[in-house]
């Protein structure tokens, strides 16, 4: 799990590598029994600064997920840096007020042990996106959206 979280964080760091500022972010992660169909869940612990940003968060991965068809369980990629278990990569973007925003990066057409399983790397990247404020429930994102209307 440590390498999967490291790869997910590095992928997000590449997105923000040209950004200015010194944004310190602490992400704790681990396993827990989550209720329902959740494979992972992020919870903000603290926020601060100007503009307001999440500064500390916790991501929990479900150690007893209730799979729904066709998914039969979790896939912990032993080689998360090469994506060799997925044959197709797709990216999509949406046009926001200030320009285009990448709204999704999806690896699909799984092979081998990844077939019909939730990829923990994709789940980690999704949850880190929430930590970075890409979530309509996050006050900083919501405030920005209201200000743009």
Average of per-residue pLDDT across 104-124 = 90
**135/142 Cα distance (integer angstroms):** 8
Note the pLDDT of residue 19: 66
List of residues 6+ apart from 130 with CB closer than 8 A: 42, 57, 138
Residue 146 predicted with pLDDT over 60: no
Return the DSSP state at 71.
-
User: Comparing C-alpha atoms, which of 129, 145, 136 is closest to residue 97?
Assistant: 145
Nearest C-alpha neighbor of 8 from the set 133, 122, 92, 134: 122
Entry pTM: 0.82
Q: What angle do CA 97, 122, 99 make, to 5 degrees?
A: 10
Q: What is the pLDDT of residues 49-100, one digit of tens each?
A: 887 889 999 999 999 988 888 888 899 999 999 989 999 989 888 887 888 8
**String of DSSP letters for 94-117:** EEETTEEEEEEEEEEEE-GGGTTE
Whole-angstrom Cα distance, residue 72 to residue 4?
20
Map out the domains of the chain as residue ranges.
2-72+116-148
Cβ neighbours for 59, distance < 8 A, ≥ 6 positions apart: 5, 27, 28, 29, 40, 41, 42, 124, 127, 128, 131
pLDDT, mean of residues 132-139? 73
Q: What is the pLDDT of residue 141?
A: 55
How many H helices and E strands in the chain?
3, 7
Greater pLDDT, 140 or 48: 48
């Amino acid at each position: 799990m440590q390498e999967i979280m490291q790869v997910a964080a590095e992928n997000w760091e590449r997105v923000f590598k040209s950004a200015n500022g010194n944004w310190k972010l602490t992400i704790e992660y681990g396993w827990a029994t989550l209720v329902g169909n959740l494979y992972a869940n992020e919870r903000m612990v603290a926020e601060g600064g100007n503009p307001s940003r999440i500064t500390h968060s916790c991501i929990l991965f479900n150690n007893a997920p209730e799979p729904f068809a066709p998914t039969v369980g979790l896939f912990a990629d032993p080689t998360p840096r090469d994506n060799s278990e997925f044959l197709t990569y797709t990216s999509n973007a949406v046009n926001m007020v200030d320009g285009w925003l990448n709204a999704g990066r999806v690896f699909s057409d799984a092979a081998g042990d990844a077939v019909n399983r939730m990829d923990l790397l994709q789940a980690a990247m999704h949850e880190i996106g929430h930590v970075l404020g890409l979530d309509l429930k996050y006050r900083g994102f919501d405030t920005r959206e209201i200000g743009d209307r």
